[in-house]
Each structure stands twice: as structure tokens, then as C-alpha cells.
Structure 1
């Protein structure tokens, strides 16, 4: 790999045609395209390349999408199980080999402190490794920056360990006692399962995340949806338009070859389910009476996706096993509205309620009131400022290995045009 560092003896900052902020798969994929076009660039990474896959995933983590969807430029999945789901170590090895093939111009362990427009054009980049200038800047650091933890967590008893999903590693790494998992998105549902399978008593505060089947009518549901074009649908064609970017991903797992995650079945097996967590009074947590509707809503999405597959099969006369409809295996008799932490023996709370973006370092008028970037396919209204690696940047596929290359290629074309313009002017 090409490791770079600034020369402290230079009287003027090093100038780049393009600065890429973020050394994850998105930033490195864009680097691949810029190298192919002969555009001078540098990838800034505050830790190490693609560190989040190592540092923010638990030990039993595996992909929830089939391996065949892993397709970075010049580096498709090359294992012997395209329909399987790579485990954490396999993902890290695959990504390491991509990085080694690419040999990117990469500046690791370097935090970008501020990017601002400079007089005369382009940008000034202040970093922990010195100053740089660039004609164009790409924020490729993703959108999951600051772990979300509710403010009332400060009032929880000091003897209860609190961690965010990004810091969870294994059931064995937690103190003794029951575990409260807050949030039922992909991370929350899978962590709850991990603990449940290890024999830990799990209490789960269920949110509004939808779910989907792992396999249906003889194929992985992802394979069906890909064939139906769901991952290629652009934001502007989605019924929710840009609102789809706020959606929570469906919970499902690739564990042990892949299967559904059915919270109702977990309840039959002893997991305690609750509605949305609202507040804390002493040692007692309060929940909204939303559990029944949350489970029903998740099942409606589950059956709705399967019904769309049924229509696709019928319209194209595809030979497939017969259809089916999921029927609840458990229904809550009551809506539990409180939980006494001490009486329940809760030793750990795991917050699985997501992250918020933090682009404080980017001084540019490209954000909405919630701090989210405003863009079209990563291109902002501010000349020379781009985003890459965001969920639903362009389509559902943007948040998957299968869609990164397309998004990066699109931006590379725009960046190339901008570089040509700067070169002509210079």
C-alpha cells in the first residue's frame, strides 16, 4: 500500500486535484476510478483503511446479503460460496486484498479537522498531519458517525454497564445478568439473537424496523429483489422520494447459512419483548404500548415483499415452489409498560438505536436542518463538493457492496469533468 505523509519542510501546503475524506470501501473505490483516470488525489483516513469492519462489528457478525453481491472494481467475490454470507474475518480478508490490489494513495491515522473554501478557488484542508489544498473534495466517511444514546441514560444505575452496538463483541464479554437490547433494527435484532443463542436472558425494546424473509419460494429474497430491479431503483422513483433515506433496514440474518429473524419465536423461547423505550423513573424503565403494532407492521412488510415476489413469478411464468403467508406464532397478551432493572437482574444495556451524521469539519452550505447532506447522486449544489458511501445515495444498492462501484464511477465522471476544467483554466 502507498502510505503517504506530508513534508513538514514545505513552505506551501501540498496541492491535490482531489481530496477524498474517508478510507472505507467507498473512498477506496473512488480512488480506484481516479487512479484509472490519472487524477492526482489523496485518501485521508483518521484511523486505518476500512477499520469500521473490524472495530464496529461483533465477533459473530456476518453479511446479511449474499456473497455474490460483493463486487468492488477489479475485485468481485472470489470464494467458493457465492450464495453464502461471509463472516467477519472473511470480510476483512476480502477487503484487505482489495486494498492491496488498489495500492491507494492513502494517509492513515490522519484526522481532517476542517475543509473550507479558499480565496482563488478550491479548498483548504486542515488535518492532524498538516495543511493541504485541493480543487475538489469528496466526503466518503459514510453517515454513521456519532452513536445515539438517549440523554436519560445518564440517570441509569452506575452498576449497569452501558454500551452501544458498535462496541458489542460477544455474550462472553458482558457482565453476568440479563441484558436489555434497545432497538430492533439489523444490529439490535442480530445482537439479541446472538445473546439469546448463548443462553443469556434477553429483554428487547422493539422499534419500528421492518423484516423480510431470508428465503422464499426456492431462492434468497435478495436474489429475487435484485432480479426485480429493487436495488437499482433511484431515490426519485421511490414512492417516499428522499424520505426513504430515513427508513430502517429490514432485519434478517446470514448466520449459519441464513435464516429469518422472528421476534415472536424468540418470545416463545423466553425473550421478553417491549414497545418503544420512553423514559426512566428511578430503576424502572417505561415503555410505550407499541409492541403489538410493531410486530404486526414488521409482518406486513414481510408478507408484502413475498407477495411482490409472487407477482413477479406469475408475470414471468417462473417455475418455483408454491407461495405462503407468514402467520404469527406468538401474540403478546398484554403490552408491558415498565421494567424494574434491579428486579429483572439487568447487568447490561446495549443501545442499538443507530448513529447520527457529523460533518462538522466540512464548512460548506450543503446540509439541511438535520445536518444531512443535500445532494443528487452525491453531487451537491456547491461546486467541487461531493458525497459518497451514504445509504440511498442513489438507490437501495448504494448501501451495499454491489452498488458502491456504480456510485463511485458516476462521481468519478463528474470529478473528471471538473478536473479538466481546472486544468484548462490553469
Structure 2
């Protein structure tokens, strides 16, 4: 069984090493040995240390490698949209199975890959695209195929989880925690994809597509990052018995006409310390699945890194290689439900709102009136002097309000009106609250 490997960076190098060190076991599991037919890279002459591979296997012609008759499986760990999309479509249409870790491509145009796989009668596997080595996508795709999944909530980005965990544990600000994450190698030199939620949004789209049998793209996902989370937010969360996590949330629901829909969003949120995801710290990932028959399931582990990701890649390689030897292939995709994606404004959420207000009689009543006008029910109110200073001096005061569940559009409209009140000096922060009553 011969493989074409596209990319030989952090993940690709680990794939090569595991193919070498576990060659006998892999051959026994598959029923035939795995061999590397070629490795497509940008620069053939680059020093790759003690990588156990014949230098003659390297090529700068990925398309030529893919088209070779002796290639059975194409493994793509390059990333990006193009030219990866063109390469994989070419391979799948030619009947060659594909294993990819390319979350961005799957989230933007997974439909093109699935259609090409169906056309060519080939396998498309992508366990490594979400949550690294955690066995997650195959349980959604196969093990839970006889069940009905209602909600998927996850921490799927290790960089942001490390930053928020550090802020919670040490009281550090966002910039300081990001610097630490960069020094330890958890954050890229340009951390935008992580801290602004793009990475998590791509993974949320893939999870929603599998869970709800519906094609969901990254463009369908409401996305917010963590750059606005403050030390004060962390302190307020602790006072409520909560912590703050960047969550991806995909859930079933119904629209105003009673039709079934899905909601897919990524944003920071407060969750109670009693929630299973609250204890997920450092750069770990975890996904909490709620299904009708199976109940609540938790998947936890390292969500990134060369070796964990390579482990997931090779798991897929074993599966597709065994299928090829048996003359079979798995169903490309299950998108029969074709549910509409609900706009963020219709999603049901709770808000935690911190206001800096004028400290005088009638302020609380005026603020409560704004919530009432938008049909948003207040769950709790906490009031104190601005900045936590001494009370009774006629200065500004802090109001911290937590709402009951309401449509996100109503909550957003409430915040907009609050910003326009002359008694509100500023809306210091707005965070959603998840996982509680």
C-alpha cells in the first residue's frame, strides 16, 4: 500500500517517523506493508535532520506525485485552501483515498472534496482536522450514527485555552498571558487565527456538519475571539463560581416557523466550575456531546502538536488502507438533513453585562426598564462602587447583571440601548453565560 505524502513539516515529519518505527505493527493491522511513494515539499534540499527517509523520495511536483499509478493513498498535511483543494480533488476523482488534517479547507469547501470522493469511489478521512489525537470525528461519523445528537460544546483551540487558563490562575492580563503562550510555543508568531477564533470556527463547522448531517461552512459560524477578555471579567466569573473559556457550540433548535435548524457559534463564555469543560486547562482540548440515547459524552486530550496529530493521521491511513485491500470504501458524507443554519440573533443565550453607571437614586430602575422593553428577564444584579472602592461618596458605581435565556438579538439590542443612556458611563464588558440554568 503506497502513500503520497504532501508536506513534511511538523506533522509530516512525525508521520514519516511513525511509519518507520511502527512499520511491522501497521502492516499487521492493515494486511499489507505501507510504503512511501514520494513526499512533496517546497524545497528538496532542506536539512531535515535524522528523518528516516530516502532523500530520493522528495519532490517539488505534488500533482505529478498524486497522478502516479503506483500511489494508493494521498496524505495531505500542507494546509491552506489552494493548491491543496485542487490536489485532493484530483486524487479523489482518480479513485485514490485521501487522509487530510486540513481543517480550513474542509470548513470552507468540504463539499468539493466529498463530491469528488463520491465521484471517484474513494475514501476521505480527516480525524486529525479537529482536536488532534482525540478520537472525536469517527465517533460522530460512525459510533453515534444511530443516535440523534442535540448539542456539541467544545474547547477546540489549545492556544486560547492556555491563555484563558493562565489569566484565570495567575490574574495576568491577556497580553501577558499571550506572551507566555508564545514563549512556550503554544502560540504562533502571528496568533490571529487562534485568538480571534478563526481556527475554532473552522473546527466548529466540521463538528456541526457531522453531528447534524448538514453541510456547514466556516462562513455559517458566528465568531468572536478572546482579545477583549479582561482581568475584571475573570474576577467577575470567579465571583459567580464560573470560569471563562472559548467555546464552540453547535446545537439543534427551531425557528419561528417551527422548522428544525442548527446554530453554530464560537465565542468566549462563562461556564460554571461544575461543568465538565471548566476543569480543562493548559493547552488541552475537550468536546462535550449531548445525544438523545447515549446521553452526555466527553472527549478529552491533546488537541495539537506533531505527534498527536500524526497519530490521528495514521489512524485514518490504517482505515482507508484496509478498505482499499477489501475493495470497499466508506460513505463519503451524510448530509441528508440539510438543515438551515440559524442566524446568531435567534440563538438562545444568557448575558453577563458589567456597567459603569452614575451612582444616584433611580439608576437601577432605569436600567431594568431597558431590559424589560426588550423582553429580557434579569436573573441577578450585583451592585458596588466603581472599581471596588469605598461606597457612599456619590461617585460612579458598578452594576453587574446576569440575564435569563433570551434571543441573542434581544440581548444585543438591550446592550445597544444601555450604551446610549446618559446614566451609563460605559458598558465595561459583555460576555455570554453557558452551561447553567
TM-score range, shorter chain: under 0.3
Structure with the bigger RCO (C-alpha within 8 Å, sep 6+) is: 1
More helix by share: 2
* Larger-Rg structure: 2
Q: TM-score, normalised by structure 1?
A: 0.27
More strand by share: 2
